[in-house]
Structure formats: C-alpha cells, structure tokens
Amino acid sequence: DSGVTQTPKHLITATGQRVTLRCSPRSGDLSVYWYQQSLDQGLQFLIQYYNGEERAKGNILERFSAQQFPDLHSELNLSSLELGDSALYFCASSVQLAGGNTGELFFGEGSRLTVL
C-alpha cells in the first residue's frame, strides 16, 4: 500500500461526457502528479501540483483540467470525452527534498476509464 488513494477504480462512460477522478496523496506529501497510461502512448505525464499551485504541465489536453485543494487532495477533470481517452489514470505524490527537488513518486492503483 503506497498510501496514495484514487477513486473510482473503474469508470465506464460515453463519448462527450465529463468525469472527475479523485486522488488523496500520502500524508505529508505536498506534490501531486497525474499520469495517463495507455497501450499505445505508454506513461504520459499530465500535470503536477505543489501545495495547491500548478507546478508543471505535460501532455495535458485542453479538455482536461486539474486542481489541488487546501487539504492537498487533487481532482482531474476530463471533459468532452473521446474514445481515445480510454486509459489508466494514475496519481502519484512525492516528498520534497532539501533544495526543493522532488524525491521518488508514490503511485496510487489508478483509475481505469473506459469511454464507449
């Protein structure tokens, strides 16, 4: 158990719909990362938050958005869903090392999204 909790574990929805994925980081971790994993694209970095602020942005579509709340949990919102958005979405949290760099990531078990 990594200490990172993601809900829901599975989600099936239709094209054009909107879903929200939720992540609770490990206790004390201020950084939250979102990744998308699909068969053809591998593990793709979407976005990182640190203590409520967006810190880095990767290959995140404009239809996707995220936020980190004051209690440090994070939500990833996916809208106008397309078939190609079907994937595993992982959340990870990390510690901040001395000097401000990020240590290892601790991953949740993922949310499997199926768009029909």
**Chain positions contacting another protein, by CB under 8 A:** 2, 4, 33, 42-43, 45, 48, 55-56, 90, 92, 97, 100-110
CB of 112 to another protein, least distance (A): 8
1-31 burial, b for 16+ CB within 10 Å, e for fewer?
eeebebeeeebebeeeeebebebbbbeebbb
Our CB check for another protein shows the closer of 43 and 116 to be 43
Sign of the Cα torsion 23, 53, 113, 42 reads: negative
CB of 16 to another protein, least distance (A): 28
CB of 26 to another protein, least distance (A): 12
Our CB check for another protein shows the closer of 59 and 77 to be 59
CA distance 47 to 24: 15
